[in-house]
């Protein structure tokens, strides 16, 4: 069970070289913008091709440059929620969610959509267009759409960065519920330290395209593995460093 990821991609301007594994838990990819977190998700989902690497989910290999396996994004079965909540503007909330289901069997689809609308509290706006609903609602639709096809794993790219604080807390709880109900690996990309700290079972700290340290939030933030990580945290998150020094 779980995900295994090893990726290397050199774009000329930027080198990404990361490797990690996870079970059915929440792994937070944490680091600054431009440290390669989103790129990791895109490479995993097959929207970009790495130079070399290996991606497998529950033992199914999606990408392996050694054996030449490169499964199309359509068949990778990842639920992917994009950074800027990309809903299809020409479809209603309902149709957006339904679109995540087209590849499955015909019977029972209506019930599944209904179930998702209930779980994500979207019944009242099911016939509205994305332009008519709020940011938090959009985010819930994105999650519902990504989850309705019962993906093997959920990839969340800065899902809450555009939301205000109250909504963020609500959404974090929602993700925790998703984790319980769906029991799948959830990869969460964020540069918000509070989010990383409160939600992660495991954190992978991204620094400039490399992983500086992997571990539980406690391990990362209180016992940095090397002076480099310590220095990075102190430099970028001073409030945390003070706490640590006391």
Partner 1 sequence: MISTLFVVAVGICVSYVLARKEFRGRELVDILFTLPLVLPPTVTGYYLIVLFGRNGILGSYLYDLTGWSIMFTWYAAALASFVVSLPLMIKTTRAAFESIDRNLIDASYTLGHSEFVTFLRVVLPLAKKGIIAGAILSFARALGEFGATLMVAGNIPGKTNTMPITIYSLANSGEWSQANFLVIFFTVMSALFLFAANRFSKRIL
CB of 86 to partner 1, least distance (A): 4
Q: What is the C-alpha end-to-end distance of the chain, expressed in Å? A: 40
| Both tokens assigned to 13 | 């301007």
**Residue 120's closest CA among 103, 100, 105?**
100
CB of 44 to partner 1, least distance (A): 10
- Nearest to partner 1 of 153, 171 (CB atom): 153
- Nearest to partner 1 of 90, 180 (CB atom): 90
Cα separation of 229 and 97, whole Å? 41
CB of 151 to partner 1, least distance (A): 9
- Nearest to partner 1 of 73, 208 (CB atom): 73
- Nearest to partner 1 of 188, 212 (CB atom): 188
**Residue 90's closest CA among 140, 122, 132?**
132
- Nearest to partner 1 of 36, 224 (CB atom): 36
Q: Which residues bind partner 1 (CB under 8 A)?
A: 42, 45-47, 72-80, 82-84, 86, 88-90, 99-100, 102-103, 145-146, 149
Cα separation of 154 and 76, whole Å? 11
- Nearest to partner 1 of 146, 203 (CB atom): 146
DSSP-H helix ranges across the chain: 37-45, 93-99, 109-119, 135-147, 165-182, 193-199, 217-222, 227-236, 238-245
Find tokens 């960065």 and name the residue. Answer: 161
CB of 161 to partner 1, least distance (A): 15
CB of 214 to partner 1, least distance (A): 25
CB of 146 to partner 1, least distance (A): 8
Cα separation of 100 and 135, whole Å? 20
């Amino acid at each position: 069970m779980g995900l295994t990821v090893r990726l290397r991609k050199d774009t000329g301007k930027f080198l990404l070289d990361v490797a990690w594994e996870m079970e059915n838990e929440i792994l937070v990819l944490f680091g600054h913008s431009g440290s390669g977190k989103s790129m990791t998700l895109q490479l995993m989902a097959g929207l970009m091709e790495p130079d070399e690497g290996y991606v497998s989910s529950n033992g199914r290999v999606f990408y392996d440059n050694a054996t030449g396996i490169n499964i199309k994004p359509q068949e990778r079965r990842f639920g992917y929620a994009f950074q800027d909540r990309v809903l299809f503007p020409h479809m209603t909330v309902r149709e957006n969610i339904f679109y995540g289901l087209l590849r499955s069997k015909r019977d029972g689809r209506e019930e599944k959509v209904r179930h998702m609308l209930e779980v994500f509290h979207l019944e009242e706006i099911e016939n509205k267009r994305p332009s008519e609903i709020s940011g938090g609602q959009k985010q819930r639709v994105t999650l519902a759409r990504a989850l309705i096809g019962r993906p093997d794993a959920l990839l969340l790219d800065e899902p809450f960065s555009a939301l205000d604080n109250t909504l963020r807390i609500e959404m974090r709880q929602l993700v925790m519920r998703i984790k319980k109900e769906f029991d799948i690996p959830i990869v969460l990309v964020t540069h918000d330290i509070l989010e990383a700290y409160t939600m992660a079972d495991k954190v992978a700290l991204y620094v400039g395209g490399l992983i500086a340290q992997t571990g539980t939030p406690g391990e990362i933030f209180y016992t940095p593995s090397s002076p480099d990580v310590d220095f990075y945290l102190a430099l970028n998150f001073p409030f945390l460093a003070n706490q640590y020094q006391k």
